[in-house]
Amino acid sequence: MTNGIDHDAIDEALAGMSRRGLMLGAGMGFAALSGLSMVAPGVAAAHDQKGKYVDRYPDNKPKVGLLVYPNMVMQDLIGPLTTFNILGFENHLVWKDLSPVPTELKISVAPTTTFDNCPKDLDVLFAPGGTMGTIACMKDDAVLSFLADRGSRAKWVTSDCTGALIMGAAGLYKGYRATTLWNVMEFLPIFGITPVHERVVIDRNRMSGGGNTAGIDFGLTLGAVFRGEEEAKRCQLIMEYAPAPPFKSGTPQEADPKMVAAIKAGRVGMDKMVKDAAEAAAAKLA
């Protein structure tokens, strides 16, 4: 295990996939390198010397359904979505309707499809986090029904941050290992989930990321499953993802214990709301 990522689990997941499918994805990617000068921003393409855009993965686009919902944390969505976009996935931002969804930053995200119109068979189902939005989703039968339906057939069921609780409320993580935001980790067992304090956790075809910045780690790890390690490394280089935080305070294990205690104390009311919503959702599942 390196940097909180279980590479043995990744290798096992890669081995379980179709070798032909992996070779097809990687082969098209490397073949497209010839004659290309730089990567176009925000798309799975590059442009040649004449400025023509060339899709690196024209015939191999994993379908991803990304739940978007009011009061989600935008970073939880943007990190994975950026990696999926560079790696040429077919991304669907899914909500009940197409009205813009407000995030915690007061910047809205426009869904691209609805629950009813989202592809039935997804390669990846994903839920981002955001504590207050997560509480609402755990109480929302329409959200949980959509996730349970698509998750029953998706090749990968995934989350970042408190999105793990939403997947738990939909009954999709029961009996699996998962990670989430550190200060709600204690609530995962309510849904029969084994909590793991790691950056990215893989258990069979479930993959979860920790706090919101773990979304990039998660996205690259999942990208390697579909595109191969070299393409995921290329994506990492394109993003210049080389974290070097100015302080050693990013986990409760590293941070000043007084700071950890103060943050927990300031969340008592909100965490009780999380627990109550989780217990109510678990009771419905039972």
**What b/e readout covers 240-270, taking b as 16+ CB neighbours within 10 angstroms?**
eeeeeeeeeeeebeebeeeebeeeeeeeeee
What is the pLDDT, as a whole number, of residue 54? 78
In a domain, 4, yes or no: no
Three-state SS letters, 60-89:
CCCEEEEECCCCECHHHHHHHHHHHHHCCC
In a domain, 35, yes or no: no
In a domain, 36, yes or no: no
- Report how far residue 99's alpha carbon sits from residue 117's, in angstroms, rounded to the nearest whole number: 15
What is the pLDDT, as a whole number, of residue 40? 35
What is the pLDDT, as a whole number, of residue 41? 36
Place of tokens 């944390």: 73
Q: What's the number of domains the chain is made of?
A: 1
What is the pLDDT, as a whole number, of residue 21? 37
**Is 235 among the residues known to form the active site?**
no
Output the six-digit token pair for 239: 């993003």
pTM value is 0.84
Q: Which residues contact 141 (CB under 8 A, 6 or more apart)?
A: none
In a domain, 37, yes or no: no
Place of tokens 């595109």: 227
Domain range for residue 272?
60-285
In the β-sheet with 156-160, what is the strand arrangement from edge to edge?
A: 113-114, 90-95, 63-67, 124-127, 156-160, 206-209, 200-203
In a domain, 6, yes or no: no
In a domain, 88, yes or no: yes
Tally Cβ neighbours within 10 Å of residue 33.
11
In a domain, 22, yes or no: no
What is the pLDDT, as a whole number, of residue 38? 31
Of the candidates 173, 176, 178, the residue with the CA atom closest to the CA atom of residue 208: 178
Vertex 177: Cα angle to 173 and 182 (nearest 5): 100
Tell me, rounded to whole angstroms, the distance of Cα 244 from its chain centroid: 22
What is the pLDDT, as a whole number, of residue 76? 98
pLDDT tens for the chain, 286 residues long, are 555 555 565 555 555 443 333 333 333 333 333 333 333 334 455 666 777 767 899 999 999 999 999 999 999 999 999 999 999 999 999 999 999 999 999 999 999 999 999 999 999 999 999 999 999 999 999 999 999 999 999 999 999 999 999 999 999 999 999 999 999 999 999 999 999 999 999 999 999 999 999 999 999 999 999 999 999 999 999 999 999 999 999 999 999 999 999 999 999 999 999 999 999 999 999 9
What is the pLDDT, as a whole number, of residue 30? 31
What is the pLDDT, as a whole number, of residue 5? 55
- Report how far residue 234's alpha carbon sits from residue 125's, in angstroms, rounded to the nearest whole number: 24
Domain with 252 in it: what CATH number? 3.40.50.880
In a domain, 20, yes or no: no
